[in-house]
Amino acid sequence: MRHRLVLLGSDEIALAAFVAARALPAVEVVAVYSQPDRPSGRGQAVRPNPVAAWARQEGLPLLQPEKLSAEDAAYLKSLDVSLGVVMAYGQILKDDFLQAPRLGLVNFHGSLLPALRGATPVEGALAAGLDVTGVSLQQVVRKLDAGPLHASAPLAIAPHEGRAALRARLGDLAGELATRALPAILAGTSTPVPQDEAQVSYTRRLTRQDEALDFSADARLLAGRIAAMEGWPGSTFTCNGVVIKVGAAQAVSVNAVAPAGTILAADKSGVLIACGSGACLLTHLQRPGGKMLPAGEFLGGFPLAIGTQVPSVAMSPLIAPAPFPRLPKA
């Protein structure tokens, strides 16, 4: 029996899973749904997202509606699709769309559900200081990331790992999970297991305000928060009236007793700042208009005096036991 698949995704993290799904025996990808091409990068030229670019390169039928409609659901039903495979698509799927494929839709999610439901599971895992995260394959239902689980795979978070590196490894893991778990779903022999609602947690979208750093926090959690904000929105603090961006940090145990936010050391190894517990070693920094530099190079052009007090700014939680209020897209 030949299986007809539709793929729904927009982010690079989905590519390995989609490539693996397409490579399965007796599978034909009949459509790829992805977000519309948008301005991005320097010059804000209109560019396709990674999934759309891949679909075009592979000659796959590509659909990029601004918002899914009843007409999209009807078209999907007309394709006689066996299964929809979703990862990081970026649109809410309504009942008519969920019911169009014969076997419904399954979603690869970048956490070990029921933990870290929502938009930013990778960032949530880093900010929480978790040692292990993973990928879950769930049957899609209307409630956010609440569908029963077909399979999951754990992944240890490496020391000092940033968001980009962790996302890449989770994407590769999703590809492995696709190869392992999708055949049973297509054969109708997979029995998904309900999630434990007592263990649920939720993440939220990031905002520009999430760049703020609160040095009264535990150093390990602050270093994880900096790793989670890698890229956009980044992490910043203000020193002597100048906003400094932090590219990477490590938690350090210290014996010195000093108020949170005190610069304890500043040399080529990094800028060491006291935290509520321990200290954070900022290893890569950037001043306005400059490049992200290793600490030694940064300090050569912008010295920071030991004993300087760096102000803290309250950080909004990234994880909660209930869904966050919906925010407009940044």
The number of folded domains in the chain is 2
SS3 28: strand
The domain containing residue 263 runs over which residues?
213-301
User: Closest Cα to residue 158, out of 136, 135, 132, 127?
Assistant: 132
How far is Cα 318 from Cα 156, in angstroms, rounded to an integer? 20
For a pLDDT cut of 90, what percent of the chain falls above it? 95
SS3 68: coil
Q: Are residues 189 and 231 in the same domain?
A: no
Mean pLDDT of the chain: 96
Residue 144: how many other CB atoms lie within 10 Å: 13
Strand partners, 319: 203
Categorize the per-residue pLDDT at 327 as very low, low, confident or very high, splitting at 50, 70 and 90.
Answer: low
The CA–CA distances, whole Å, from 317 to 7, 119, 306 equal 33, 14, 30
Among candidate residues 151, 170, 202, the one where a domain is terminated: 202
Q: Which residues contact 58 (CB under 8 A, 6 or more apart)?
A: 22
What digits encode the pLDDT tens for the residues 108-156? Answer: 999 999 999 999 999 999 999 999 999 999 999 999 999 999 999 999 9
Six-digit token pair at 94?
A: 């309504």
Q: Are residues 87 and 236 in the same domain?
A: no
Q: Is residue 30 part of a domain?
A: yes
CATH number at residue 281: 3.10.25.10
What digits encode the pLDDT tens for the residues 168-209? Answer: 999 999 999 999 999 999 999 999 999 999 999 999 999 999
SS3 2: coil
What per-residue confidence (pLDDT) applies to 326? 79
User: Closest Cα to residue 266, out of 304, 231, 218, 318?
Assistant: 304
Q: Are residues 137 and 62 in the same domain?
A: yes
Report the residue count for the chain.
330
Q: List alpha helices for 101-240, DSSP H.
A: 121-127, 163-187, 219-228
SS3 301: helix
Categorize the per-residue pLDDT at 303 as very low, low, confident or very high, splitting at 50, 70 and 90.
Answer: very high
Please give the angle made by the CA atoms of 300, 272 and 293, to the nearest 5 degrees. 40
> What is the Cα Rg of the chain in Å?
22
Q: Is residue 326 part of a domain?
A: no
- Residue pair 221/125 in contact by the 8 Å Cβ criterion: no
Q: Are residues 135 and 180 in the same domain?
A: yes
